């Protein structure tokens, strides 16, 4: 059976409790631990939906503006007892970093999937009011930049 653990994590990447999630920074192996603020475990249709969204979301990192990766969520996906994916997701710069052999790999979240994935994660494990407000400000800035670049073309 597929199971997904969704953890709302402290974006400041600090560990002050025993309940932490690893945040991988680079293929060179940079890792820190950050506090888990809330958790939900899903199975069945919800887990299948989230897994399908993640399969569509993974695109190679190209010219994406990165915030340094201060994630909102940490996820662990299991098939039975086997861990098949451990990743952190940053909704500010639409990227995720997953554990791979020898370190970590950073990918963008495909723009056509980002909104649905972001909404589904926030529905399952809501963010704090401060984080939600911050994400709205980031979205407004991104829309303004897209509008500005569209006018220059």
Residue 152: inside a domain, yes or no? Answer: no
131 falls within a domain = no
In the prediction, which pLDDT does 98 show? 67
Question: DSSP string of 3-45?
Answer: EEEEEEE-TT----SS-EEEEE--TT--EEEEEEEEEEEEEHH
Q: What is the pLDDT of residue 57?
A: 76
CB–CB of 45/3 below 8 Å? no
pLDDT at 89: 85
The owner of tokens 């984080």 is: 131
Number of domains present in the structure of the chain: 1
User: What residue numbers bound the domain in which 102 lies?
Assistant: 2-126
Question: What is the model's pLDDT at position 4?
Answer: 94
Residue environment code for 27-61, b if the CB has 16+ CB neighbours within 10 A, otherwise e: eeeeeebbbbbeeeebeeebbeebbebbeebbbee
In a domain, 121, yes or no: yes
Please give the model's pTM, rounded to 2 decimal places.
Answer: 0.79
pLDDT of res. 44: 92
Q: Answer yes or no: is 63 within a domain.
A: yes
Q: Is 15 among the domain residues? A: yes
Contacts of 119 (CB under 8 A, 6+ apart): none
* Phi, psi at 10, each rounded to 5°: -70, 115
The pLDDT assigned to 94 comes to: 73
Q: Indicate whether 149 belongs to any domain.
A: no
pLDDT of res. 103: 55
The answer as to whether 139 is a domain residue is no
Query: What is the C-alpha separation between 76 and 69, in angstroms, rounded?
Result: 18
pLDDT of residue 68: 62
Q: Tens-digit pLDDT profile for the chain (153 aa)?
A: 789 999 999 888 788 889 999 887 654 556 788 899 999 999 999 998 888 887 777 776 665 555 666 788 999 989 899 888 888 888 877 776 666 555 566 677 777 788 888 889 999 999 989 888 888 887 777 677 667 766 655
* Position 137 in a domain: no
* pLDDT for 66: 56
Q: What pLDDT was estimated at residue 62?
A: 60
């Amino acid at each position: 059976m597929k199971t997904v653990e969704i953890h709302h994590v402290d974006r400041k990447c600090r560990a002050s409790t025993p309940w932490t999630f690893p945040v991988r920074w680079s293929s060179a192996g940079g890792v820190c631990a950050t506090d888990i603020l809330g958790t939900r475990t899903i199975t069945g249709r919800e887990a299948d939906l989230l897994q399908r969204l993640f399969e569509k979301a993974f695109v190679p990192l190209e010219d994406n503006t990165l915030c340094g990766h201060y994630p909102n969520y940490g996820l662990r996906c299991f098939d039975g007892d086997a861990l098949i994916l451990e990743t952190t997701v940053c909704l500010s710069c639409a990227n995720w970093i997953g554990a791979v052999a020898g370190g970590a790999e950073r990918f963008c979240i495909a723009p056509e999937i980002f909104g649905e994935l972001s909404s589904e994660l926030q529905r399952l494990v809501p963010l704090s009011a401060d984080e939600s407000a911050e994400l709205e400000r980031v979205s407004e800035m991104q829309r303004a930049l897209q509008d500005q670049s569209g006018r220059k073309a």
